Amino acid sequence: MGVDKKGFFGDFGGAFIPEMLFPNVEELQKNYLGIINSSQFIKELSVLLRDYAGRPSPLYFASRLSNHYKTRIFLKREDLNHTGSHKINNTLGQILLAKKLGKTRIIAETGAGQHGVATATVCALFGLECVVFMGEKDMKRQKPNVERMKMLGAKVIAATCGSKTLKDATNEAIRDWISNPGNTYYLIGSVVGPHPYPDMVAKFQSVISKEIKQQLKEKTGNENPDYVLACVGGGSNAMGAFYHFIDKPKSKKKKKVNLIGVEAAGKGINSGFSAATTALGTEGIIHGSKTILMQNSDGQITEPHSISAGLDYPGIGPQHAHLFKTKRAIYPSVTDNEALKAAFLLAKLEGIIPALESAHALAYLEKLYAKEKETVVVCLSGRGDKDMETFLAMMDK
């Protein structure tokens, strides 16, 4: 299943970058495995994950939700991590790598601001300069996160080109990286971008499925669930939740785990306001890798739409494109309204307000029809505080 030497997962991945970026990307390609697999790095990262991020995150048996759907549902509580989502797993890993490479300045792109906040957090922790690029439109939509980044000491720069959203912020970050190759590290927030980012971010997020296995074994006697569900924006929480379940069990007695990545259908797949990449996309290149993305026949990127800013991305990580094409995982989608309904259901039944992104994974439980004895793990990627305005608007209706 792993990545090959050129950074491909089957037909997807690679590093399609301007020549000016070769030195930066090559430096990473040559060094990342040696550094992140060293015993010193593993030790330092595991201490940070435990004492700073609060891992392991609980695997919670949701009994009232299970009764409701007549199956056994466990929630992987990434919402309980420091900064409120899975993003901290990746930023801690990459900041440690940046430090080992001797970098002193960190740049990042952010859409909803969650990755920006997680990056500003770890830069404060390590005392490194932090510059976050964010679309001008997103800065207005996600003001509290802009304020958090500033309080943490980061400089937030508005991307004023194009649609003034995530893809424009990414272009600005790449431009900055080209101009500052020596001291600057580009900290990417999902399993996207040129090789080695998709593989590296997946490895940092794989702690999610590593813990699920141990925790499920303790709770049920079996480390493999029947289903793993996670929402997919770029695909980092999903890849982390899938990672240790992708290879089929060697013993014939054990069943393979069904992997389900839930995409955002927005107002409906064919409404013109959707972010359901695998349903609507075709093969192409975005942000340095070959993958599946939403584009018109001229190769112009189609503007995505989702009620949740974290899923509002026109592509998916190359490894997901590979899992989709080879049918190892499926990628259905749910609409804005279905996700909202699922968020309210979880709040009422379990006393947990999920992020709108995570609510997409929960909404798919309506269509899963799992059997009573089957086990379902849902990755609860983040908490819903940041989405209260959207939830309140729904309650007023």
Q: Catalog residues that contact ligand PLP under the rule CB under 6 A.
A: 85, 87, 114, 190, 231-238, 310-311, 355, 357-358, 381-382
Nearest to ligand PLP of 72, 139 (CB atom): 139
Catalytic: which of 109, 211, 263, 357? 109
Residue in the shown chain whose Cβ atom is closest to ligand PLP: 382
Tokens 């359901």: give the residue.
276
Nearest to ligand PLP of 72, 280 (CB atom): 280
Least Cβ distance, residue 238 to ligand PLP (angstroms): 6
Catalytic: which of 57, 66, 76, 87? 87
Nearest to ligand PLP of 66, 85 (CB atom): 85
Least Cβ distance, residue 9 to ligand PLP (angstroms): 16
Nearest to ligand PLP of 72, 78 (CB atom): 78
Q: Is 381 a catalytic residue?
A: yes
Judge contact between 185 and 105, C-beta under 8 A: yes
Nearest to ligand PLP of 72, 199 (CB atom): 199
Least Cβ distance, residue 242 to ligand PLP (angstroms): 11
Catalytic: which of 206, 306, 358, 381? 381
Q: Is 87 a catalytic residue?
A: yes
Task: List Cβ neighbours of 138 (8 Å cut-off, separation of 6 or more).
Answer: 110, 111, 112, 113, 164, 165, 166, 169, 309
Least Cβ distance, residue 154 to ligand PLP (angstroms): 17
Least Cβ distance, residue 155 to ligand PLP (angstroms): 21
Task: List Cβ neighbours of 65 (8 Å cut-off, separation of 6 or more).
Answer: 73, 75, 345, 346, 349, 350, 365
Q: Is 109 a catalytic residue?
A: yes
**How buried is residue 98: exposed, middle or buried, by Cβ count under 10 Å (0-12/13-18/19+)?**
buried
Q: List, by residue number, the catalytic residues.
A: 87, 109, 381
